[in-house]
Structure 1
Amino acid sequence: MKIALFLLPLLSLSSMTSNPDPNVIKPKAGISKTLFGTFPDGREADLFSLRNDNGMLAKITNYGGYLVALTAPDKSGKQEDVVLGLSSFSDYAKGTPSLGPIIGRFGNRIGNAKFTLDGKEYTLPANNNGNTLHGGPKGFDKQIWKATTIDGKEPALILTYLSKDGEEGFPGDLSVEVRYTLQKDNALRIDYKATTDKATVVNLTNHAYFNLSGLKQDVLNSQLMVKADAFLPTDEKQIPTGEIQPVAGTPFDFTKPTAIGARIDDPNDTQIKYGKGYDHCWVFTDKSKSLKLGATLYEPTSGRFMEMYTTEPAVQVYTANNLNGKLTGIGGVPYTRRFGVCLETQHFPDSPNKPNFPTTVLRPGDTYISTTVYKFSAK
């Protein structure tokens, strides 16, 4: 007997994020849990709310690790949502586009849905023009993760998942831990860790769509800076060709803050045509594995400013070219084309098939470790 799908709509963030009454005490920093919804097979998903003393709020579900909501203050101190989220659990359960989940076992694309490791070929499910995208149709974003909470001034949610040998075609039992921490300095920190019992490939990331206007307009006027002097050109199916091309003289040069919409429809650029805008991997100039500034995003109307720090060698910038207004968020906001921008920190796409790219191979005895921080302020 199937259990009916439990639907829990999300409260509008407008009531929680407007300018506070000075006589009202702000919610205390910490973490709380509520039931988000129930699948027909009885599995339950929870929703965790993390707050800091500045009034910043992050909402995360252990279904797929989705970042459902994240608020940040504008130049007047008003807290508003700055990521694209869906209005109810049922919307997430439908398997809608990747609005904020943990992506794995391999973020981005693997060409022709196959790769060879230690002389053995592995075939994966093809879910994107004959390629494997974001770990396959039943990737980490479709799994219920075990959740552990850490309360305090910097609340944290630790999500763990065991990806079994052969899941979506990948070898090895992979033990994964992802920790979300809402820091006192208005930063959301994401720490990734993984170990395996058999050689495999790993490339974890988060797929949040940012919109620093408070979900009031598209991101074309937002100013993006990426500390990258090169990017990866792709073929027409968006698989990297293996080249690492300088950004200088191309629409991909964001070494200085530039409006996202300034060159996004350049009719003379083949790469823009392939991506229908920006959907490419930028290679950081700083090749170190230390936590370094990788990109910034500034929205002039609200004054919100985001700094993105990462230990990863690259970032996939995606400008929501495929959103079409059919999805709506909290409060009924339609998510139209280019209503958000993803800054997916990661290793290079199709690395398992490109020996000249930084390796994504993880072997028994080694630990995959990665950190990304999204820090918010206003000016």
Structure 2
Amino acid sequence: MSFPRSPLSSSLSTSPSVSSVLDAHGWDSGWAENFAPYAAQGLVPGRVIRVDRGQCDVATADGVVRADTAFVTPHDPLRVICTGDWAAVDPEGASDPRYVRACLPRRTAFARSTSSKRSEGQILAANVDHAVITVSLAVELDLGRIERFLALAWESGAQPTVVLSKADLVGDPVVLSHLVEDVRAAAPGVEVVPLSSATGEGIEVLSAVVSGGTTVLLGVSGAGKSTLANALVGEDVMTVQAARDVDGKGRHTTTTRNLFVLPGGGVLIDTPGLRGVGLWDAEAGVGQTFAEIEELAAECRFHDCSHESEPGCAVAAALDDGTLAVRRLESYRKLLRENQRLVAKTDARLRGEMLKDWKRKGAEGRAAMAFKREGRLR
């Protein structure tokens, strides 16, 4: 379907109003170039700031419009319209309701596996440059969960940052320093920011990180994401609920993914608290999260080293001399196995290879047991 060419679509690069509104939401020459075919149809560009039950709010040069998503609801859950997408929308007066006619190809996408048994992925945010993983210091640190978030963030193409929220609740500065170092050890190459929305500690540091591009806030319920969003936006845009004292968990303050323009530049997407952090085809992300193990593995004598009992294993040597923590290796193996199982559910060839490997290991185990029994009989 095409519409009469509108003044807006013919002046995407030059109109001051378009520039000021769309640029604030992340519009650039690359998006304008990709949008050109839709502009020729008379459609107008906008960024999706919220999706809810078959409709979405889209920020356009003329303001936020409500649009129907019936034309952008594919069967693939990874391709459904999502907060952060750039969309081609009906011009004003073209239809009632107005429709999103298409979405521009995503530059990045933050996805996880769903809790269903159907091996489906779920898009949490689109076209994200920074992923801020919010971890509450009001409860005991779960380094394994942080590593999961990091694997998904690296896989998405975003640059992760770990924020340790509620730092004011840690009374001893020495203890806080140790907690920060523990997280840094689990997040090589990632900035770790201790932060308190109550005292303002760390807010300026994080504001500098998110001042350019699009940032998504991630974390479990009760981590303080909504409070942090309010601090970054500079006003109470999100309702805040108290977390339980017993376990630090809270009810879902945020129930939809919302996009806000930050006063210092940049765009922020707040997401609901995640109960499950399942990987979704994140082998590269896991490798980057455990970069030190991947580097050690490259020095092993055998390229297919299992890092268990082979001679010349650099990973085993690092375990022995204490430069690599046993917990890190166990977490690395766990995430790789989980990711492989997930991929195998949708990859018949990989399923076959895994089945052969299981059969081989089973045969080796049975042979070893038979050898032991025969030895005892003699």
TM (normalized to structure 1)? 0.27
Q: Which has the higher contact order (CA 8 A, sep 6+)?
A: 1
TM-score, normalisation: structure 2:
0.27
**Pair member with larger Rg:** 2
Choose between structure 1 and 2: higher strand proportion. 1
